A and B are shown apart, each in its own frame.
Chain A
Amino acid sequence: MGSSPVTIPFTFYRFLVIGLTALAVLAPLSLVFYQSVLTAPFFQPAAQLSLNAYRFVFSDNDFWTAFVTTVLLAGGMTTIAVPLGAALAFLMARTDVPGRHWLEPVILVPIFVSAVVLAFGYVVALGPVGILTIAVKDLIGVIPWNLYSFWSLIVIAGLTHVPHVYLYTAAALRGLGSDVEEAARTMGANPWRVATGVSLPMVLPAILFAGVLVFFLGFELFGLPLVLGDPQGLLVLSTYLFKLTNKLGVPSYQLMAVVVVAIVAVTAPLVFMQRRLLRQAQRYVSVRGKGVRSTALRLGKWRWPAFVAIALWFAITVLVPLAGITLRSFVETWGEGVVLSEVLTLEHYRELTEYPNVVRSIVNTLGIGVIGGAAAVLCYTAIALAIHRWPSPWTRLVDYLVMLPRAMPGLVAGLALLWVFLFFKPLSPLRETPISVWLAYAIVWLAYGMRLISGTLIQVGPELEEAARTIGASETRVKLDITLPLIRYGMLASWLLVFLIFVREYSTGIYLLGPGTEVIGSLLVSLWGTGAVDLVSALSVVNVVMIGVGLLIAVRLGVRLHG
Chain B
Amino acid sequence: MADLTVNDLALRYGDNEILKGVSVKVPPGRVVALLGPSGSGKTTLLRCVAGLETPHRGRISMGETVFFDAGAKIDLPAEARGLGLVFQSYALWPHRTVFGNVAYGLKLRRVAQDEIKRRVGAALAQIGLADLAERYPHQLSGGQQQRVALARALVYEPAIILLDEPLSNLDAKLREEARAWLRQLIVSLGLSALIVTHDQIEAMAIADHITLLNGGVVEQEGTPTALYQEPATLFAAEFMGNNTRLEGKLVAKADQRASIEVMGTKLAGLARSSAAVGDKATGVIRLEKVTLAAGPGPNRLPMTLKTQMYIGERWELVFVKDALSVRAYSAAPLDRESCHVEFPPQALWIF
Contacts and interface: CB of A to CB of B under 8 A. Distances in A.
A477 interface: yes
Contact of B95 (A3, A4, A475, A485): A485
Contacts of A477: 79, 108
Contacts of B156: 471-472
B35 to A, nearest CB: 22
B104 A470 contact: no
Contacts of A473: 79, 104, 108
Contacts of B87: 463, 466-467
A481 B104 contact: yes
B52 A470 contact: yes
B91 interface: yes
Interface in A470-488: 470-475, 477, 481-482, 485-486
A186 to B, nearest CB: 37
Interface string A455-499: 000000101101111111111010001100110000000000000
B10 to A, nearest CB: 18
A466 B78 contact: yes
Chain A contact surface mostly? helix
Give the most central of A4, A467, A473: most B CB within 10 Å.
Answer: A467
A469 B104 CA distance: 11
A4 B110 CA distance: 9
A467 B93 CA distance: 9
A469 B51 contact: yes
Given A485-B95, A486-B95, A2 B89 contact: no
A470 B80 contact: no
A46 interface: no
Contacts of B89: 461, 463
B77 A469 contact: yes
Contacts of B79: 1-2, 4, 469-474, 477
Interface in B68-110: 77-85, 87-89, 91, 93-95, 104-105, 108-110
B45 interface: no
A4 B108 contact: yes
Interface string B148-160: 0000110010000
A485 B97 CA distance: 13
Nearest to A5: B110
Nearest to B87: A463
B80 A1 contact: yes
Give the most central of B78, B87, B88: most A CB within 10 Å.
Answer: B78
Chain B contact surface mostly? loop
B93 A470 contact: no
Interface in B238-280: none
Nearest to A468: B104
B202 to A, nearest CB: 21
Contacts of B212: none
A1 B52 CA distance: 17
A472 B109 contact: yes
Interface residues on A, range: 20 to 34
Nearest to A488: B95
Given A466-B52, A471-B108, A477-B108, A1 B91 contact: no
Give the most central of A463, A471, A472: most B CB within 10 Å.
Answer: A471
Contact of B91 (A463, A481, A485): A463
Given A473-B79, A486-B94, A467 B85 contact: yes
Nearest to B110: A3
A475 B52 CA distance: 12
B104 A471 contact: yes
A512 B110 CA distance: 51
A447 to B, nearest CB: 29
B50 interface: yes
Contact of B109 (A3, A461, A466, A485): A3
Contacts of B91: 461, 463-464, 466-467
Contacts of B105: 471-472
A470 B84 contact: yes
A464 B90 CA distance: 9
B286 to A, nearest CB: 37
Contacts of B108: 3-4, 471-473, 477
A485 B95 CA distance: 7
A469 B52 CA distance: 8
A471 B89 CA distance: 16
A1 B76 CA distance: 11
A481 B101 CA distance: 11
Contacts of B52: 466, 469-470
Contacts of B88: 463
A470 B51 contact: yes
Contacts of A486: 93-95
Contacts of A3: 108-110
Contacts of A481: 104
Nearest to A2: B80
Contacts of A474: 77, 79
Nearest to B85: A470
B115 to A, nearest CB: 14
A470 B81 contact: yes
A353 to B, nearest CB: 45
A470 B77 CA distance: 9
A464 B93 CA distance: 6
A472 B152 CA distance: 12
A475 B78 CA distance: 10
A470 B109 contact: no
Contacts of B109: 3, 472
Contacts of B153: 470-471
A470 B95 CA distance: 18
A490 to B, nearest CB: 13
Nearest to A469: B78
A477 B78 CA distance: 13
A227 B167 CA distance: 67
A2 B81 CA distance: 9
A1 B110 CA distance: 10
Nearest to B95: A485
A184 B52 CA distance: 48
Nearest to B164: A463
Interface of A: 1-4, 461, 463-464, 466-475, 477, 481-482, 485-486
Given A466-B52, A482-B93, 12 more contacts: A463-B88, A467-B91, A469-B77, A470-B81, A470-B83, A471-B79, A472-B108, A472-B109, A472-B156, A486-B93, A486-B94, A486-B95
29 contacts: A1-B79, A1-B81, A1-B82, A2-B80, A3-B109, A4-B108, A461-B89, A461-B91, A463-B91, A464-B91, A464-B93, A464-B94, A466-B85, A466-B87, A467-B85, A468-B104, A469-B51, A470-B81, A471-B79, A471-B152, A472-B105, A472-B109, A472-B156, A474-B77, A474-B79, A481-B104, A482-B93, A485-B95, A486-B95
Closest 4 CB pairs of A and B: A469-B78, A463-B91, A470-B85, A467-B91
